[in-house]
Homo-oligomer: A and B are copies of this chain.
Amino acid sequence: RRYQGSPTGTDLECRGWRQEAALRLLNNNLDPEVAEKPEELVVYGGTGRAARSWDAYDAILRELRELGDEETLLVQSGKPVGRFRTHERAPRVLIANSNLVGKWDDWEHFHELEAEGLLMYGQMTAGSWAYIGTQGILQGTYETLAEAGRQHFPDREGLAGTVTVTAGLGGMGGAQPLAVTMNGGVCIAAEVDERRIDRRIETGYCMDRAPDLETAIERAEAAAEAGDPYSVAVHQNAADFLEAMLDRGFVPDLLTDQTSAHDELEGYYPSGYTVAEADDLRESDPEAYVEASLDTMARHVRAMLALQDRGAVTFEYGNNIRGQVEEYRGVEEAFDFPGFVPAYVRPLFCRGKGPFRWLALSGEPADIHRTDEAIRELFPEDEALLRWIDLAAEQVQFQGLPSRVCWLGYRTDEEGLTERARFALRINDLVREGEISAPIVVTRDHLDAGSVASPNRETEAMRDGSDAVADWPILNALLNCAAGADIVSVHDGGGVGIGNSLHANNHVVLDGTDLAAEKARAVFTTDPGMGVIRHADAGYEDAIDEAERSGVHIPMRREEGDDA
């Protein structure tokens, strides 16, 4: 309602590019092209907000416009609460969202405090102003599904000839159909909200819609038979949809889910209601809503388990649906299917790899195309990376500020520069040389190699049992602050819901200056480095190997020298 628009170009509203970057990123998160419900300040992932209220939004923008080059603004759950003199290499903005003391760290206390206007749910990149629309998740989904394909269908090209079934076409889940087709496969996705289906079809993330499950399965089987990529959405509740699939005797090759099951009140829709009816019930009787929602979720998971029994390769896609039904509906077998992280992502984390991303503050697509070229120049030997860059350049429509994401890691070169640092320093040079028209801001998801503790997702089933240890994301935030990131944030509850995770991220603004180069060099070493040391500490060979290969100093390894 009071969205001030998303400034682009090379004229500054703020006193420097670091502040301007924060201002543009916040606005970009709320850009109607980017945000799922901008009028409510909701960016994605259930109720992940960018600011606590429109008053808070206005105040943040006002503060950013006034903020000096040696000052730091404090944002507490989406509200600006202070501004202090620090120094030039310190962050310009520090953010803490949704954090609660452990014993009170659950949705119930969160909602009470939210109702009092004291807290905001920041999800991962909503409250930290690092969301870039569905592309952000597209690369992760692409990589995850590619890895699933390699592991389970080694004889096929990618996912060609296979059918993947899922549900939820929201801010992140909407990336699934495209990620499947980019891998050559076929996808059937259930979604209760027709508007979400419209949106995925408009933006090219989903190819088709079917009037019912039967039709969807027929078309999907035909495409798979022919080896063609194809995606189709069905307007149906996921639990009903999977039960119908069981009745019909259809078994997908891959099965997952990206409804916002982590939030049973505001993210997941119960069966037996239209979206409008459910929205009314949520208002009038939230307790009844929660009960109905959890009942549907239990049916949903039981159907997934039944399809797994019949041969579908089944995994949770980071929405805590297993944890929810185990805790609230006693579905003890829920954890019989794995999470996507231990299954497909952890080997990358061990090497400091994670969802690294950047945005062109100019608003110019050409600036991102130049960064795509830089990737091709810097990493000519990395085929998977280059395939992604080509597909992305071709198929991804920009939403809001043009941006790109790809997974880069630690892996130092002869000069000791990590992949991430090499890229950032190159881009900083291109900005200095004017080949890129305005600064690029480099950031990442909170879900990264060394930045998150989330026992039902990123740190599920850690080798040493350290799943719930949250010292790591805190050290990650402090260290990136020390290294000179321009924005640092710490959130509770991203992805899997309040009390289930703690995580951090950071931004560095590449404005072509020497200061930016110093910051980039430090932050893009410390940040992926945390991933390496965290996984080496847990005893993962890949991480220990990466530390040795790339010279990451691990104080207690030299004493132990064991398999940890």
Contact = CB atoms under 8 A, between A and B. Distances in A.
A82 B533 contact: yes
Nearest to A82: B533
A483 to B, nearest CB: 5
A234 interface: no
A469 interface: yes
Contact of A100 (B109, B470, B530): B470
A74 interface: yes
Contacts of A328: none
Given A76-B471, A99-B471, A102-B100, A86 B499 contact: no
Nearest to A74: B475
Interface in A59-110: 59-60, 62-63, 72-74, 76-77, 79-87, 89-91, 94, 96-106, 109
B82 A554 contact: yes
A522 B500 CA distance: 35
A366 interface: no
One complex includes copies of this chain to the number of 2
Contact of A116 (B81, B454, B465): B465
Interface in A313-338: none
Contacts of A500: 101-103
A552 B84 CA distance: 8
Contacts of A96: 470-472, 474-475, 478
Nearest to A534: B81
A464 interface: yes
A331 B119 CA distance: 30
A59 B529 CA distance: 19
Nearest to A533: B82
Given A86-B522, A116-B464, A526-B84, A490 B469 contact: no
Contact of A82 (B97, B465, B474, B530): B530
B106 A479 contact: no
A555 interface: yes
Interface in A522-564: 522, 525-526, 529-530, 533-534, 537, 552-556, 559
Given A89-B87, A464-B118, A481-B482, A501 B101 contact: yes
A477 interface: yes
A309 interface: no
Contact of A94 (B97, B105, B479, B502): B479
Q: Which of A59, A472, A481 has the most CB of B within 10 A?
A: A481
A433 interface: no
A488 B55 CA distance: 33
B479 A72 contact: yes
A179 to B, nearest CB: 28
Contacts of A554: 81-82
A498 interface: yes
12 contacts: A59-B555, A80-B555, A82-B552, A87-B483, A90-B483, A96-B470, A101-B468, A101-B470, A102-B502, A113-B466, A116-B466, A478-B490
Interface of A: 55-56, 59-60, 62-63, 72-74, 76-77, 79-87, 89-91, 94, 96-106, 109, 113, 116, 118-119, 453-455, 464-472, 474-475, 477-479, 481-484, 488, 490, 492-493, 498-502, 518, 522, 525-526, 529-530, 533-534, 537, 552-556, 559
Q: Report the 10 A-B pairs with minimum CB-CB distance, sorted nearest first.
A: A102-B105, A102-B499, A104-B468, A96-B471, A90-B482, A99-B470, A80-B555, A96-B474, A82-B533, A94-B478
Given A81-B537, A86-B484, A100-B102, 10 more contacts: A80-B555, A86-B482, A90-B483, A90-B484, A96-B472, A99-B471, A101-B469, A102-B493, A102-B500, A103-B105
